[in-house]
Structure 1
């Protein structure tokens, strides 16, 4: 009988793999967002990792935003990423959508100042029902402003301003004069690779209504006046009664002196 051939032992590939630490971009202070095994460092390129914005900013208010990071560079056992997509949770959007409100959505691709194609999906929600013409104007203004903004900034600045909610606040100021808004969000922001024909070209926004700083100051003035009055009342309550009476008497004496001076001026005339 022929001797039975010895079967080769299967090679355990997992023993050859090395773990690589994945870091977030500088926008999030290069925090560790995960680990991943790979046979070679180059195999890590292009891998994606999802994380919630709440865990990166330590703020509960950001739990409705999900981020996707893509590995773009490797140094040793460390993988560096860039922000690939910024997406608002659909359940968060559904909380705002109700009857007698108009939802305005849009989706387009524009190019940043450093040549990166960025896809934006803004979301507007009015406080009540409006006409189609007003909704169309709001959609067009939103597209014009965002396309102009993206063309004037690089991708890192765009991602930073959207994460910090600066773009959304400014967009509200450009649109709210047409109709009051209940919500204004950038529902999706993401990188687009490859050649895209339907890229929105930026145009001037000089004819649009800019954010009015005067209105914001007028809104703050009543609040400041209330704070000043509250401070005066607190100081008055803190004073003893005899000091309050002296202050009132001194004020009356000042008024009488002013009246006497006015009477003398009239007599001399």
Structure 2
């Protein structure tokens, strides 16, 4: 005798769509939509979007921004910035033979108390000597720390994403050895001020 088949519940019918909104200082744009059964399930989710998608500028598609959903208002999920990263395919495209790649990894605190991990990267025109590499790395460290002390969190993030910080590093370090490219490879928010 055949068994009675139970009717299967469709989980999609119980879920709702929520639109995801970028923080105010990035433009409060709609950066996507997501699906959830309960609004509480969205809190803590990480969303990635490119700068090119936010600004409609195709030349900036190599920079990914990361946001974490922090709050739900109706069917709008509000986010906060947690970091950015340059895509690996773009990084591989700017690496060349017979050149020096100079990386550094810094922990900085902005004027308003946010703690960030900043990872600048620099490429020279030809291969540099160790003393020149150390000098460029020192300039990179000093420039990033100075800018972090002068700017608040939102201004610092904007400079790191839009290339102003890397342009400042380039101007300060090009006297030591000719540079081909300077980028802020990655930023991560490690701590927020106690409210």
- For Structure 1 versus Structure 2, the TM-score category normalised by the shorter chain is 0.7 to 0.9
Name the structure, 1 or 2, with higher relative contact order (CA <8 Å, separation 6+): 2
Choose 1 or 2 for highest CA Rg: 1
Matches within 5 A, 1:32-43: 32-43=30-41
What does the per-residue CA deviation read over 1:210-232, in whole Å, with 9 as the maximum and x for residues that have no partner? Answer: xxxxxxxxxxxxxxxxxxxxxxx
Q: Which has the higher strand share?
A: 2
Matched positions, count: 189
**What is the DSSP-based 3-state SS (H/G/I as helix, E as strand, rest coil) of the residue aligned with 2:137?**
helix
Normalised by the length of structure 1, the TM-score is: 0.64
Deviation per residue, 1:64-98 (Å, 9 max, x gap): 11122111222111111122221111221222222
In the other structure, the counterpart of 2:20 is 22
From 159, 171, 187, the equivalent of 1:189 is: 187
Aligned residue number for residue 66 of structure 1: 64
SS of structure 2 residue aligned to 1:171: helix
Q: Note the aligned Cα RMSD (angstroms).
A: 2.1
Q: CA 1:184 to 1:11, structure 2 compared with 1: closer, same or farther past 3 Å?
A: same
Question: 1:232 matched to which residue of 2?
Answer: none
8 Å CA contact 2:116–2:191 kept in 1: the answer is no
The gaps in structure 2 that reach 5 residues or longer are none
Q: 26-35 vs 104-113, which deviates more?
A: 26-35
- Give, in whole Å, the separation in 2 of the partners of 1:177 and 1:56: 35
Query: 1:125 matched to which residue of 2?
Result: 123
Structure 1 position 159, deviation (Å): 1.3
What TM-score, normalized by structure 2, do the two folds share? Answer: 0.87
User: What residue is the counterpart of 1:244 in the other structure?
Assistant: none
Q: State whether structure 2 residue 98 is matched by structure 1 residue 100.
A: yes
8 Å CA contact 1:50, 1:69 repeated in 2: yes
Give unpaired runs (5+ residues) of structure 1: 1-5, 195-269
Provide the rounded CA distance (Å) in 2 between the counterparts of 1:175 and 1:110. Answer: 20
Q: Is the Cα contact below 8 Å between 1:83 and 1:159 reproduced in 2?
A: no
